[in-house]
Amino acid sequence: MIDRATLAAHFATIEARIVAACARAQRPRASVTLVAVSKLHPPEVVRLGWELGHRDFGENYAQELRDKHAGLADCSGLRWHAIGPLQPKNAKYVARAATVFHALERLDVAQELSKRREGPPLQCLLEVNVAAEASKAGIEPGALPDLVAAVRALPNLELVGLTAMPPLSEDPEANRLHFRALAQLGRTHGLAQLSMGTTGDFEVAIEEGATLVRVGTALFGHRPA
């Protein structure tokens, strides 16, 4: 498990890179939220991050989110971001634990989330298959208008933005056109939040308008197998 000093150094490095990317894009630093992706790392790692002052953490798996949410309930101000694909039967865990859900792509899941949600509306982003990858999650851009309208009609969800999870690449520039396409779709549909960019390409994503970047490996190291 990563130690406190190393984690603090990683947060400082990523923060400096975010600040620099915002400066290049002439954007205020406050327009970008760093979501620290803690999936498959033990809850103690999240607690360390919280003690260092970080508040936004991302999890992929609904049961793991449920367990970490329960185990870290005393960490006040901690916001959970559910970022992985979700089945209707697991929607209740996300509805209870998450502040933001980044990977909405099915109306039945949206309905289940709205039904199960108590308290403030769950902020949702629709995941778009920007790179048109056959194997990938996310909806086709052409299917967006109908899903946007249907989700906006649900009472306990607040549709705030769009998410892209384009191909992993060694080259940070490789996904710039996909990030740009997502930003354009966001403007078209009046959705201000853009969740895009991971360890390999979050600076390019910020240059193209990301408001949420999802960084795991660069903060916490490689995930345990």
- The verdict on 216 binding ligand PLP (CB under 6 A) reads yes
When CB distances to ligand PLP are compared, the closest residue is 216
**Long-range contacts for 7-11 (Cβ within 8 Å, ≥24 apart)?**
7/45, 7/48, 7/49, 7/52, 7/219, 7/220, 8/52, 10/218, 10/219, 10/220, 11/36, 11/49, 11/52, 11/54, 11/219
How near is the Cβ of 119 to ligand PLP at its closest, in Å?
25
How near is the Cβ of 62 to ligand PLP at its closest, in Å?
13
- The verdict on 92 binding ligand PLP (CB under 6 A) reads no
Write out the binding residues for ligand PLP, residues 47-76 only, by CB under 6 A.
Answer: 60
Given the complex with ligand PLP, which of 124 and 215 has the nearer CB atom?
A: 215
Give the alpha-carbon dihedral of 90, 95, 96, 97, to 10 degrees. 90
- The verdict on 18 binding ligand PLP (CB under 6 A) reads no
Q: Which of 119, 215, 221, 225 binds ligand PLP (CB under 6 A)?
A: 215
Given the complex with ligand PLP, which of 147 and 165 has the nearer CB atom?
A: 165
